[in-house]
Copies of this chain bind each other. A is one copy, B any other.
Amino acid sequence: MPAPDATAATNDAPDSAYTPTDRTVPTRSRERASYDREVVHAILDEGYVCHLGFIREGAPVVLPTLYGRVGERLYVHGSTGARPLRMAGGAGTEEPGLPVCLTVTHVDGLVLARSAFHHSINYRSVVVHGIARPVTDPAERTAALDALVDHVVPGRSADSRPANGKELAATAVLRLDLEEVSAKLRTGGPNDDDEDLELPHWSGVVPVARAYGAPIPADDLSPDTPVPGYLTRL
Contacts and interface: CB of A to CB of B under 8 A. Distances in A.
Contact of A218 (B28, B192, B225): B192
A25 B56 CA distance: 14
A20 interface: no
Number of copies of this chain in the oligomer? 2
Interface in A88-136: 99-103, 105, 107, 110, 112-117, 119, 121, 123, 125, 127, 129
A61 B101 contact: yes
A194 to B, nearest CB: 9
A215 B63 CA distance: 32
A42 interface: no
Interface in A200-233: 200-221, 225-228, 231
B105 A161 contact: no
Of the listed residues A59, A79, A145, A200, the one surrounded by the most CB atoms of chain B closer than 10 A to its CB is A59
Interface stretch (A2-10, A32-40, A150-158): A150-158
A13 interface: no
Contacts of A203: 217-218, 220-221
Contacts of A145: 116
A207 B218 contact: no
Interface string A134-162: 00000000000110010011001101111
Nearest to A162: B116
Nearest to A105: B64
A41 interface: no
Contact of A64 (B125, B201, B202, B212): B125
Given A49-B105, A116-B157, A210-B211, 16 more contacts: A27-B82, A52-B62, A55-B55, A60-B99, A61-B129, A63-B127, A64-B105, A112-B160, A115-B167, A116-B160, A116-B163, A189-B219, A192-B220, A203-B217, A204-B221, A207-B216
8 contacts: A53-B61, A54-B60, A60-B60, A60-B101, A62-B102, A159-B201, A189-B218, A202-B227
Interface of A: 23, 27-28, 48-49, 51-64, 66, 78-79, 81-83, 99-103, 105, 107, 110, 112-117, 119, 121, 123, 125, 127, 129, 145-146, 149, 152-153, 156-157, 159-164, 167, 171, 189-190, 192, 196-197, 199-221, 225-228, 231, 234
